[in-house]
């Protein structure tokens, strides 16, 4: 069944936004209540989807829209990635890699804020090299977060630093999907866009690094419970080859699923070969529970919460995308633009609204890209400036607000530290402690209000685009 024209809701624009508002209200309530488990969002999302069903003018078309949204290949990639990352994390943790990292951090003298700052830098390097923020969270989160227990790192600042480092690569890497999309929609070469973007991202990154170093120390309670981890020595560091292999494959532009599958196989081989894992740990039959258990099963179960959340969220967003809401926003921006500063304000404002409503950075850039190019050109804004305003804006909200997948995924990664004395951190405080994205948002606002960077020049035409990709 194909939907003809935009999806309609009773109540017009208010009706189309009502399910999303219901979801946001539920997220805010859970976030302020300190609920750390993404499973708590399931009933809220189901309630929002049900509300949308009752408000839809054509309920059959609404249901088909939900199914089409959930069945997109990118959704299946994400879900498989969450499940495989759970397996990989379970194998590496049981093999003693976290214990080895604790030993290494102590040997290097990284304590408190110094460890948090180092985690931020490490994630910046990984995300910039691979161009994937989600991949960085999947690989680095379950390793760096638990290790913070015995070095006195503050839990909220540590997961915020991991999330911020993942954001950094998304906002500056030449192979990031947002960099490619923003440059492409504005007809700019990627190399020039990245060079021009340094004036926005470097001040934010340096500010975040300084604050993490100064404020990243914890109370020491977790450290006192986990000090014994350092006594295990460096034996588990043999498994460092596994995340290095996964990161290398991502750097070589191999598929994320290939990297995670290869990493899980390598972790299994190294763990068994070095005696870090036993076959019974990996998989065994539990007669009392009438089923199979072990690290592989446990790892898959770790990814179920965020996987179901992803399915429901994508379904909700797909219904909103099927309306003409984004088109109305862009048309309003087109009618109201009258000056260069006004054009920049509407570019930032409209792409902000698009990413907040769709939860998808690329969709937001593509929805606003034509307007940004047309309005920006009319008022003399270079292609570099337009591309960078689009990119730095969409690289803030998804890493700050608790209903976006990156913050949910970061919060989910904190479950890996429970056995080592590190508490779970909910999505709301995780995003609140992502200082890089907050500072990047502030730099963007100042750039528009003061004109900082507005005079940056860019070559005309699109000749440089192909070579940039």
Three-state secondary structure along the chain? CCCCCCCCECCCHHHHHHHHHHHHHHHHHHHHCCCCCHHHHHHHHHHHHHHHHHHECCHHHHHHHHHHHHCCHHHHHHHHHHHHHHHHHHHHHHCCHHHHHHHHHHHCCCCCHHHHHHHHHHHHHHHHHHCCHHHHHHHHHHHHHHHHHHHCECHHHHHHHHHHHHHHHHHHCCCCHHHHHHHHHHCCCHHHHHHHHHHHHHHHHHHHHHHHHHHCECCCHHHHHHHHHHHHCCHHHHHHHHHHHHHHHHHCCCCHHHHHHHHHHHHHHHHHHCCCCCHHHHCEEEHHHCEEECHHHHHHHHCHHHHHHHHHHHHHHHHHHCCCHHHHHHHHHHHHCCCHHHHHHHHHHHHHHHHHHHCCHHHHHHHHHHHHHHHHHHCCCCHHHHHHHHHHHHCCHHHCCCCCHHHHHHHHHHHHHHHHCCCCCCHHHHHHCCHHHHHHHHHHHHHHHHCCCCCCCCCCCCHHHHHHC
User: What gap in Å lies between CA 82 and CA 33, rounded to an integer?
Assistant: 26
Residue 461 has what pLDDT?
45
284: which strand partners?
Answer: 293
Q: Is the pLDDT of residue 437 over 90?
A: yes
pLDDT tens digits, 192-208: 899 999 999 999 999 99
Q: In Å, how far are 115, 163, 259 from 256, measured between CA atoms?
A: 27, 18, 5
Mean pLDDT across the stretch 225-230? Answer: 51
pTM of the model: 0.86
Residue 330 has what pLDDT?
85
Q: Are 163 and 284 in contact (CB under 8 A)?
A: no
Residue 175 has what pLDDT?
83
pLDDT tens digits, 148-194: 887 889 999 999 999 999 999 889 888 888 888 899 999 999 888 99
Range with the lowest mean pLDDT among 73-82, 96-105, 239-248? 96-105
User: What gap in Å lies between CA 68 and CA 54, rounded to an integer?
Assistant: 19
Please name the residue that has the structure tokens 């940039």.
Answer: 468
Q: Are 362 and 178 in contact (CB under 8 A)?
A: yes
Closest CA to 131 of 66, 79, 179: 179
Closest CA to 242 of 436, 52, 23, 92: 92
145 Cβ partners below 8 Å, 6+ apart?
Answer: 155, 158, 159, 162, 413, 414, 416, 417, 422
Residue 202 has what pLDDT?
95
Q: Are 406 and 399 in contact (CB under 8 A)?
A: yes
Q: Are 243 and 125 in contact (CB under 8 A)?
A: no
Mean pLDDT across the stretch 365-372? Answer: 89
What's the mean per-residue pLDDT of the chain? Answer: 86
Q: What token pair was written down for 172?
A: 């500056």
Residue 97 has what pLDDT?
84
Q: Are 458 and 188 in contact (CB under 8 A)?
A: yes
Mean pLDDT across the stretch 136-144? Answer: 89
pLDDT band for 227, please (50, 70, 90 cuts).
low
User: What gap in Å lies between CA 446 and CA 435, rounded to an integer?
Assistant: 16
Q: Are 117 and 209 in contact (CB under 8 A)?
A: yes
The alpha carbon of residue 253 and the mean position of all alpha carbons in its chain are separated, in whole angstroms, by 18
Q: Is the pLDDT of residue 35 over 60?
A: yes
Residue 463 has what pLDDT?
37
Residue 231 has what pLDDT?
54
Closest CA to 437 of 465, 400, 384, 383: 400
Q: In Å, how far are 4, 65, 131, 366, 388 from 181, measured between CA atoms?
A: 28, 25, 13, 7, 11
Backbone angles phi, psi at 286, to 5 degrees: -110, 95
User: What gap in Å lies between CA 358 and CA 256, rounded to an integer?
Assistant: 23
Q: Where do the structural domains in the chain lie, given as residue ranges?
A: 73-307+400-442
Mean pLDDT across the stretch 340-360? Answer: 90
């Amino acid at each position: 069944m194909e939907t003809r024209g935009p999806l309609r809701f009773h109540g017009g624009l208010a009706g189309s936004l009502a399910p999303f508002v219901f979801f946001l209200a539920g997220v805010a309530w859970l976030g302020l209540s300190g609920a750390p488990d993404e499973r708590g969002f399931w009933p809220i999302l189901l309630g929002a989807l049900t509300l949308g069903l009752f408000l839809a003018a054509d309920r059959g078309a609404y249901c088909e829209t939900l199914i089409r949204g959930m069945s997109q290949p990118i959704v299946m990639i994400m879900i498989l990635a969450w499940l495989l990352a759970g397996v990989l994390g379970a194998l590496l943790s049981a093999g003693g890699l976290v214990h080895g990292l604790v030993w290494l951090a102590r040997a290097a003298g990284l304590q408190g804020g110094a460890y948090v700052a180092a985690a931020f830098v490490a994630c910046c390097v990984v995300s910039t090299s691979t161009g994937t923020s989600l991949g960085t969270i999947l690989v680095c989160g379950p390793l760096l977060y638990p290790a913070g227990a015995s070095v006195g790192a503050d839990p909220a600042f540590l997961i915020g630093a991991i999330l911020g480092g993942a954001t950094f690569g998304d906002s500056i890497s030449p192979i990031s999907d947002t960099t490619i999309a923003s440059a492409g929609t504005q007809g700019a070469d990627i190399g020039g866009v990245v060079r021009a973007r340094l004036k926005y991202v470097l001040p934010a990154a340096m500010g975040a690094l300084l604050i993490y170093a100064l404020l990243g120390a914890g109370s020491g309670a977790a450290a006192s419970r986990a000090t014994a981890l350092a006594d295990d020595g460096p034996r588990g560091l043999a498994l460092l080859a596994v995340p290095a292999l996964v990161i290398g494959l991502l750097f070589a532009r191999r598929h994320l699923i290939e990297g995670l599958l290869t990493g899980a196989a390598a972790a299994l081989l190294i763990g068994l070969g070095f005696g870090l894992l036993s076959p019974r740990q990996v998989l065994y039959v539990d007669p009392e529970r009438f089923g199979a258990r072990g690290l592989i099963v446990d790892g898959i179960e770790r990814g179920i919460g965020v996987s179901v959340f992803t399915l429901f969220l994508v379904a909700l967003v797909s219904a909103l995308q099927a309306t003409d809401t984004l088109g109305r926003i862009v048309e309003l921006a087109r009618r109201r633009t009258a000056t260069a500063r006004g054009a920049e304000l509407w570019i930032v404002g409209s792409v902000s609204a698009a990413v907040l409503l769709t939860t998808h950075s690329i969709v937001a850039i593509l929805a606003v890209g034509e307007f940004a190019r047309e309005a920006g050109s009319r008022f003399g804004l270079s292609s570099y400036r337009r591309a960078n305003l689009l990119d730095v804006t969409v690289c803030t909200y998804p890493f700050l607000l608790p209903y976006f997948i990156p913050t949910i995924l970061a919060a989910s990664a904190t479950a890996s530290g429970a056995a080592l004395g590190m508490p779970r951190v909910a999505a709301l405080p995780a995003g609140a402690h992502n200082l890089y994205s907050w500072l990047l948002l502030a730099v963007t606002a100042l750039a528009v209000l003061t004109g900082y960077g507005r005079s940056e020049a860019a070559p005309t035409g699109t000749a440089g685009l192909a070579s940039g990709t």
